[in-house]
Amino acid sequence: MTSEIFRTRDVVVFTKAKTIPVMIDPALAAGGWPGGQGVQWIDDPNIDTFKVTYSAGRYGGFLLWGSNESSDQFISVTQSQPTYKYAVMCIGPWVVSTTTFETYTYASRTGGGPLVRNVFTPGNKLRFSRRGYFTPEKENGSLPDLFVARVIQAPNTVINNGYLELQSMI
């Protein structure tokens, strides 16, 4: 017997860990983000606040709710995060199912050739890609090996709607 999980959000939470309300930088506010977006700290020399921007491989954590998800339309919180320039960041050992991962390898995304799929294997380490998505690759060679999660279940369109299930360890 299997459960039927409603995956109506970018991040579906199975086990909650810690959350931190953070402010977001102008790039995030203007560009928006999906739930599960990896973020890293950014300094603002003039304000005593804790602020994040898109991850380029480092962490902070990941953002729980997207800036404009379909499940948030026509309700009181519609676009409240980019409007008021805040988000909710997740740290610690979460178990989530998410659509925010790199489907294709970095080389194939940025090269001229055909797209090559990333292989997600249960138990393998995940990092943040150069745009802050979960990926098995270490895309930025200049950084230490900053792994942020492990794969629980690989994306599969038949059994999990193509969501990646992972355990974070940030």
Partner 1 sequence: MTQFFPPPPGSYKIDFGGMDLLRSRDCVCLVKGETFEVAVDPALAKGGWPGGQGVQWVDATSDAFTVAYSSGSFGGFLLWGSNESSDQYTAMTGQQLTYGYAVMVAGRGLISTSSYEQYTLASRTGPGPLVPLVYGANDLLYFSLRGLWSKEQEAPNLLSSGVVAQVPKAVNEFFLGVQFTL
Among 7, 13, 31, 40, binds partner 1 (CB under 8 A): 40
The answer to whether residue 43 forms part of the interface with partner 1 (CB under 8 A) is yes
Cβ–Cβ under 8 Å, residues 88 and 78: no
For partner 1, the closer CB: 31 or 82: 82
The answer to whether residue 50 forms part of the interface with partner 1 (CB under 8 A) is yes
Interacting positions 51-70 with partner 1 (CB under 8 A): 58-61
The answer to whether residue 13 forms part of the interface with partner 1 (CB under 8 A) is no
Site string for partner 1, 85-124 (x = CB under 8 A): xx----xx--------------------------------
The answer to whether residue 16 forms part of the interface with partner 1 (CB under 8 A) is no
Among 13, 17, 95, 154, binds partner 1 (CB under 8 A): 17
* Chain positions contacting partner 1, by CB under 8 A: 17-20, 23, 40-43, 45-50, 58-61, 83-86, 91-92, 144, 170
